[in-house]
A and B are shown apart, each in its own frame.
Chain A
Amino acid sequence: MNRSSSWVLLTLILAALPSFIRLPWWVAAVAVVGGAWHYAGKYRRGWYGRGLNLMLLAGAIGGVWYSFESWFSGEAVLSFFITVVFLKWSEARTRRDFLLLIFAAVILAAVGALYFESLLNLAHMLVVIFALTLSLIAIHMEGARPVFLLRRAGLLVVLGLPLMLLLFLTFPRIPGPLWDIGLAFGLPVKALMDRGAGDHGNSTVLEPGGIQRAQQNNDNVLVAEFEGAVPFKSRMYWRGPVFWDYDGENWSLPDGWDDRNRLMKTAIRSKAQLDRLIHTKETPVRYTLRVMPNGGRWLYGLDAPAAAAPESFISEDLQLLSIRRIDDQEPKLQMLAYLDYSAGNELTPEQRSRALAWPEGSNARLRALGRQLAAEHHSAGEIIHAVYTRLASSGFRFDPTHVIEPGADLLDRFFFDEKRGGVEYLAGAAAMLMRAAGVPSRLVNGYRGGTIIALTNFVIVKRTDTHAWVEAWQDGKGWGRVEPLDIIAPPPEEKSAAVKPKETPQSATVVEMKPAGQSEQQPTEQPRQDKPAAKAKTPAARPDAGWSLPDWALVFTRMQKWVINYNPDRQMELLKGVGLQQSNWVDLLIGGVSGVAGLLTVYGLVAWVRGRRAVDRVGRSWAQFCRRMAREGIARSDQECPRDYLARICRERPDLTSAAEDVVGRYIDIRYGGGPDPEAVRLFRRQIQRFLSMT
């Protein structure tokens, strides 16, 4: 057992390696002591063994307390898990202990893969699985030679790889965390969630980089269940704060905007009032909204709400707000919304000046450009079009992770120099550009899209879906949405299968502008295809790939695309490549299962053929002979030796005497005579064949 257990240790160390690098040093220290303690022979038994283990465990708990803020943060749990695994190793003796450890190693490797998602990690995972296979064989076969183990494990892994590839490509992917699915169906998952971050509804300022920060957070914001088909993700705008005021750096809400009396005074009370405000209403969508506590009044209704629900009201900016703050409860509302709309009758002079305000002395270049646009075009619609054209043709790149140094003339630097950044720069710049051109505009913050839970009508909106967009005022039409992001990074084409055919993919304002943008967006489409994040990671995976062979970088990017970033869309792409145009997850499942069955059949056939060839040929031929004789009426009984059998044949069937004598004589010679003689075996088998054809 000793030798095989070392393989288990190897597996454990390999599996925990990425975690060691990431976690505090004491985790590795405890692991090393625990790992060495296993080999301490008799010292590790008895009370001193237990004592040391207890001390190490206490040390680990102390380490968790010292190093981490929370007892149950992911890293704290992982650290504790690793130490416990290695302490278990120190006292492991039986086969079952080792099995447990091997399985724990798999979990460790999986958790490692959660943190580092790169091709290097893929290689690491393969190595861990190889070590696991090896240890499994080793603990089930005591005293096996390493070469034997390596060959066996290698064979298993090599045979497993095609199966893995097949399963990987064809297994239907269900997007999103599983607890989302539970959440969607009203399971009490809430209790498990972290309640600390539930106060994002209180912020009143949109800072540069704020959206990117919000997107790092994976908390749920709301769950919506749609009646009928779920709209396109790109068309779902969940409306939050509406910002009018820009100070050159931040967008902010006025002080006291949250005041209940003020809000109720300006709120849209009646249906008639709302109807007067919203001119065009198309594409009605009914849904049930469930909002997670956010500490503010935000209900994030889908743009634009058609009526308020109980306990809520619609503000003058068309936001759906709760009368009470949502601190603890989860409001659940039946809602109707119009995805295509334009709203607003007239702007008061005060509103117009707010929507055109420009912080003095900032972003001069942007302002000059706006004035130029105003001079060239007359109507607001034309200016909006011009802004779109400008955005599309200037080579902007959408890069949520790019942070622009805060400071003066932020938008100028974004718009004219850096030309890449998150959505708040883009929307902010577009809004201010239009203000400079004399078009009243404001910035809306909220969420766009969401995660559609597979096979259901549920959409979960998370903070990762945080978005900002622009609304521009056109006299006679009212406020209309301007979406700069779609111009520089068009949303991926979505399947229409789940959506009502009458719906058009773009909202009214965007459709109008689309042709201009469409023609010029081709060159900018490239960066969208492989994610910027993935690109950034490639050099980390193989730092030397860049200079030695440039092609390698491409290969790795491709692999990255197909392995790390494989997703349901790629899966469908693949099916189309095979020639299946209309396919769904059932096809995938069928394809995968039949593929695996086919491969296994091939393996089985190979094994069968090899096994067949190996069976004793002399015995087989002899059995043939005996069967034939049995058909002739002389069955050999089990205890009858060949010589007796021959005697009986001669007695009962004298006509077969000479043939039988020959065959039986050869059989006796081979079986009971000298050593193996291939020639004799060959002759014997030929004689049997002859005998069989004769009789």
Chain B
Amino acid sequence: MTEFRVVAYNDLRSEDAVVADVLNRVCGLPLADAVALTRQIEVDGKATVGLAATRADAEVIAARMLGFGLRPVIERNRA
């Protein structure tokens, strides 16, 4: 059950490789997913990059992303 999601917003003009690197290596996403989500962030302006059962877990993901200059927003999954 994933109560929370972490959405990455494209408000920082980081190089795509930096975004993909952070999603892959820092957030632990498989490389193919990290690259696909990086493209989605660029095209759509945002993408859900993490799902978490608890708010604390979502905050860990968000904090890692913030540390590298990305902009995550924690949202509650609607039923």
Do A and B come from the same complex? no
Q: Which residues of A contact B (CB under 8 A)?
A: none
Q: Which residues of B contact A (CB under 8 A)?
A: none
